[in-house]
C-alpha cells in the first residue's frame, strides 16, 4: 500500500498530511506522530487529490470559516476507536462535548471508567483537527489534555469561538 504525504504550514505549526489514493489516513501537529498498521507500506512525499482537498479544508478552517470541502477519511484503529472517532465527526464546528457526554453517546449508559476509555480513544485519533478531538472538554467545560498540546487546543477552540475553563 502506498501512502502519500505532504506538509502544510499552519498558524499553529507545520502539519503533516497522509493519504492513500482514496482517503486521508493521518493529519498530525508537530508534537504528534502516526503509525500505519501495514508494515510494508511505502510512504512517499507527493501530491494527490486527497491531499489537495485537505489543504483546501485547512485553508478554510484557518481563515475562520466552516470548511465546506468533503474529504474521505480512513483512520486506522480498533473497532472501539473507530466508534469513538465516528462520534467525534458528528460534533459540529463551534460545539463541544465533555468526555462524560461522549462516553454516554458511545456506551448508551453510564459506565464506570467510561470517560477514561473514551479519553484513550480520543488521544489515539490519527486525523487531528478534521476528526475534531479538540472539541472534547473535561467536566465543567475544563480544558484537558490534547495530543497536540494544550496551547494548540486553546488556539483551535479560539478559532471556533468556543468558550472553556482554563485552569
Let me know if residue 68 belongs to a domain: no
Same domain, 15 and 49: yes
- Whether 156 contacts 140, CB under 8 Å: no
Report the domain count for the chain: 2
pLDDT in tens, 25-53: 999 998 887 777 765 566 777 889 999 99
Residue 113 confidence (pLDDT): 76
| Cα torsion through 80, 113, 28, 52, rounded to 10 | 40
Q: Which of 118, 133, 157, 159 is catalytic?
A: 133
Residue 67: inside a domain, yes or no?
no
pLDDT mean over 149-163: 95
Q: Catalytic site residue 133? A: yes
pLDDT at 41: 63
Judgement on whether residues 136 and 100 belong to the same structural domain of the protein: yes
What tens digit of pLDDT does each residue of 106-147 get? 998 767 777 888 999 999 999 999 999 999 999 899 999 888
Neighbouring residues of 73: CB distance < 8 A, sequence distance ≥ 6: 23, 24, 25, 89, 127, 130, 131
For the chain, what percent of residues have pLDDT higher than 70? 95
Amino acid at each position: 500500500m502506498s501512502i502519500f504525504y505532504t506538509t502544510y504550514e499552519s498558524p499553529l505549526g507545520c502539519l503533516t498530511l497522509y493519504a492513500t489514493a482514496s482517503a486521508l489516513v493521518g493529519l498530525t501537529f508537530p508534537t504528534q506522530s502516526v503509525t500505519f498498521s501495514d508494515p510494508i507500506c511505502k510512504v512517499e512525499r507527493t501530491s494527490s487529490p486527497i491531499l489537495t482537498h485537505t489543504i483546501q479544508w485547512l485553508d478554510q478552517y484557518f481563515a475562520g470559516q466552516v470548511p465546506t470541502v468533503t474529504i474521505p477519511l480512513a483512520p486506522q484503529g480498533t473497532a472501539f476507536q473507530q466508534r469513538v472517532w465516528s462520534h467525534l465527526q458528528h460534533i459540529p464546528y463551534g460545539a463541544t462535548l465533555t468526555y462524560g457526554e461522549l462516553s454516554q453517546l458511545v456506551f448508551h449508559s453510564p459506565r464506570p471508567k467510561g470517560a477514561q476509555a473514551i479519553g484513550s480513544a480520543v488521544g489515539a485519533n490519527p486525523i487531528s483537527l478534521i476528526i475534531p478531538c479538540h472539541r472534547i472538554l473535561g467536566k465543567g467545560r475544563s480544558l484537558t489534555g490534547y495530543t497536540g498540546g494544550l496551547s494548540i487546543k486553546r488556539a483551535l477552540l479560539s478559532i471556533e469561538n468556543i468558550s472553556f475553563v482554563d485552569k
